[in-house]
Amino acid sequence: MNQDARIAIVLLLKGLFYKSDNEKAFFELINNSYGAISEYFTIIGLDVLIDENDGYAYLKNSIIEDEKESLPKLIQSRELSYKVSLLCLLLRKKIADFDMQNENERAIVTKEDISSLILLFLDIKFNEVKITKEIDVTIKKVQELGFLKKLKISDDAYEIKSSIKAFIDASWLDEFDTKLSDYKKAELWT
């Protein structure tokens, strides 16, 4: 296995691996070493998932029907807080709207855009300082998940990463639209 394939393995182990992080290793993963890399991860119960169009790859626990054959899950699922789930959902909806209007461009949002999206679901009784801190913490957690990337050109601009589409698909988004309306009416933020 060559150096770029080994780099791809390490980047996959770190989490979401974007083509923009290391284009050479990403192309190695797709074109030359997918079989070897996939086989490497299959041994430990992981599948390599790649979206060539949007330029990202990630690992997922293998689904094995026979419990005798299954391994302990290496990648643990984590439950997201309401705020983080809400922001992910709102960003997924935003990127879907953006994709319909703008082809081949990055989906960019500002902190102000994010705040205005979230404020629809906040109780007006909260104080402004607390709301700002909670929004900042929520944005940071979504960044850690790999769905938002802070842009170097501006302190308050973020790129919505296309990988959010793999984790929150369009059908789930449609079903949750009704729930969002209910949250908005109830002004939940707990």
Q: Are residues 140 and 109 in the same domain?
A: yes
Q: Are residues 129 and 178 in the same domain?
A: yes
| Digit-coded pLDDT (tens) for 140-165 | 999 998 899 999 888 889 999 988 98
Query: Quick one: pLDDT at residue 189?
Result: 46
Q: Are residues 117 and 51 in the same domain?
A: no
Residue 77 lies in a domain: no
| Digit-coded pLDDT (tens) for 114-124 | 998 888 776 65
| Digit-coded pLDDT (tens) for 20-55 | 888 888 888 888 888 889 999 988 889 999 998 888
Q: Are residues 88 and 42 in the same domain?
A: no
Q: In terms of DSSP H, where are the helices of 82-121? A: 82-101, 111-119
Q: Are residues 99 and 166 in the same domain?
A: yes
Could you give the strand order of the β-sheet that contains 107-110, starting from the edge strand earlier in sequence? 107-110, 157-160, 148-150
Mean pLDDT, range 172-190, rounded to an integer? 63
pTM metric for this prediction: 0.73
Can you give the length of the chain in residues?
Answer: 190
Q: What is the domain range of residue 130?
A: 82-186
Query: Quick one: pLDDT at residue 190?
Result: 46
What CATH number should be reported for the domain holding residue 86? 1.10.10
Structural domain total, the chain: 2
Q: Rounded to an integer, what distance in angstroms lies between the CA atom of residue 8 and that of residue 58?
A: 10
H/E run at residue 49: strand 46-51
Mean model confidence pLDDT for the chain: 82
